[in-house]
Amino acid sequence: MLYLVRHGQTLWNTEARFQGQFDSPLTDLGRDQATRIGQALASEIGAHFQPIRAYVSPLGRTRATAELIGRSLAMDILEEPNLMEVHFGDWEGLTREDILSRFGSDQAIRPIDWQFQAPGGETLDVVLARVGLWYAKAEAPAVIVTHGIISRLVRGLHAGLTHEEMLALPVSQDGYFRLDGGHIEFVPAP
């Protein structure tokens, strides 16, 4: 069983900025989200797997989220660079409006995979390859603390989805996804 968590809300999330591999701090809401997710995970997992293995992106917002989860759930944290968010190249730190004004019109940006079109950024194939390398060796049970797009790709790999299906998956910062035997279930954190 894998328990997939997106980091808590950050300041740049509230400003609709592309964080990519840049960082901004968790907001009060983001810290609350991580705390509630930790409590929900501890309730589900109980003492069965504690400490549980936790694969965590090395970026600050995911490490902060994992630390808050760890107040309720004993975890053996393994930093995993392959779980870092997509590198958005020249778009990091910008809003969509900034991107459109600096890099082109809305029609120039394809709707499904627009996140992978940034000058100097990673392509979908590159990101899927690095996430796939991690996924192939990941050991369950484990908690995974990562990012929005990476969460979509992990769930897509787990369920055998097409690229389009992966990129259309919802993301949430108010719960976690339970991945088991090709199935995916969202568990809200009360």
List the catalytic residue out of 7, 80, 92, 158: 7
List the catalytic residue out of 44, 48, 85, 122: 85
Eight-class DSSP state of 17: B
Which three-class secondary structure state does DSSP give residue 56?
strand
48 is catalytic: no
State the Cα–Cα distance between residues 158 and 71, nearest whole angstrom.
28
87 is catalytic: no
State the Cα–Cα distance between residues 55 and 57, nearest whole angstrom.
7
DSSP secondary structure, 106-158, as one string: GGGS-SSSGGG--TT---HHHHHHHHHHHHHH--SSEEEEE-HHHHHHHHHHH
Query: Dihedral of CA 91/162/138/152: which sign?
Result: positive
State the Cα–Cα distance between residues 7 and 65, nearest whole angstrom.
6
Burial (CB count within 10 angstroms: exposed 0-12, middle 13-18, buried 19+), residue 137: exposed
The set of catalytic residues is: 7, 85
